[in-house]
Amino acid sequence: MLSNFEAAIAESLESLRLFQEVADSQGEAHARAVIGFVQWTLGNYDQALTEGFQSLHAAEENDDKWGIGWCCTLIGGIYQNLRDHDQAVRYYKRSHELFAELDIPIGEARSLIGIGAAYQAMGQSDQALECVRRSLEISQRTGNRMGESRALSDLGIIYQEQGREDEALELHLRSLRIREEDNSRQAATTSLLNLGRLYLKRGDSEQALKQARKALAIAEEIGAKPKAYQSHQLLSQIYEENGDLARALRHERIFRRIHEEVFNEEASIRVRNLQISLETERSHRRRWNDYPFNFRG
């Protein structure tokens, strides 16, 4: 599966080169967006954000609302992973407005999920629940199975935090079933981790261990660092709960090492500088466009 991600990046880089040769900036924007989504999945957030901002800039230059919507989805998701929830909501809301204007249900459903996740992280459960339910309704109405599985997963997380564990379990199992049927392995790790955490909370260490091990195996196979460190963290918690402190410590050390690779200080600085550079460029461009005369010939 990792080779699939590598192939996607390789093909996108070749497409990017060809688009640049013929000065097709819209094609270049789409290629960069694909690269950004793959890098996001792999946990290379600074690279993903670089591609996302460059793609967004090109899409804005071409007034490509479809492209802008997906770029904002990408950037919003990265900020969500970086725990900058205000920025995540800002970009996800922009993408939702564009997808609603263009009548693109799959985009609407995806952006609503992003908004809901950010609200949930900020402790605004009612708003989160509304967004996730709207996303689920859109996905089921349009036959968007992956959108449905994503909404079921997030709804399960909300129910779990509300103490509605039986309902949460059913939702996580439904989400996992769809993802396994569609061979969406990266998404399946999310459901497996959710199940593992829920089983651990319910005191079922055997089931929790089973789900965490499966999640780790997939994460390592596809090279998804965020899912890998989450799996090691969960395994450490399970072993600690069972009194196996040696194994708990081993997984805790691996968790911290991979977590540091994803969230190291240097990468965080680059991410913040990218955001500042983009906002500065936008500000200059707005002032230039508002000026009564220009000298571009």
**Look-up: residue for tokens 């997808």?**
99
CATH number, span 1-84: 1.25.40.10
Average pLDDT rounded to a whole number, residues 64-70: 94
What's the pLDDT at 292? 41
Q: Check: CB of residue 170 under 8 Å from CB of residue 195.
A: no
Q: 34: pLDDT confidence band, cut at 50, 70 and 90?
A: confident
What's the pLDDT at 107? Answer: 97
Domain ranges of the chain: 1-84, 104-194, 212-267
1-84 shares its CATH topology with 104-194? yes
72 or 266, greater pLDDT? 72
Q: What is the rounded average pLDDT of the residues 55-69?
A: 92
pLDDT confidence of 265, banded at 50, 70, 90?
A: low
Instruction: Tell me how far apart the terminal alpha carbons of the chain are, to the nearest angstrom.
Output: 51
Q: What's the pLDDT band for 162 if we cut at 50, 70, 90?
A: very high
pLDDT tens-place string over residues 42-51: 888 888 988 8
Q: What is the residue-averaged pLDDT of the chain?
A: 87
pLDDT tens-digit profile of 210-245? 999 999 999 999 999 999 999 999 999 999 999 999
- How far apart CA 246 and CA 24 sit, in angstroms, is 56
Positive or negative torsion for Cα 33, 37, 38, 40: positive
**Is residue 273 classed exposed, middle or buried when 0-12, 13-18 and 19+ CB atoms within 10 A define those classes?**
exposed
pLDDT at 268: 56
pLDDT surpasses 80 at 275: no
Say which range, 10-14, 79-83, 94-98, has the weakest mean pLDDT.
Answer: 10-14
Q: Output the pLDDT for position 12.
A: 66
Q: The pTM is what?
A: 0.81
Q: Determine the average pLDDT of the residues in 86-103.
A: 96
Q: Reply yes or no on whether the pLDDT at 296 is more than 60.
A: no
Q: Which of 9-13, 191-195, 255-259 has the highest mean pLDDT?
A: 191-195
For residue 11, name the pLDDT band (cuts at 50, 70, 90).
confident
Half-sphere exposure of 144 (CA within 13 A, CB side): 19
The number of angstroms, rounded, from the C-alpha of 265 to the middle of its chain's C-alpha atoms is 20
Q: What are phi and psi of 104, to 5 degrees?
A: -115, 90
Least confident segment among 28-37, 162-171, 186-195: 28-37
Name the token pair of 9. Answer: 């990046």
Could you tell me the fold of the domain covering 104-194?
A: 1.25.40
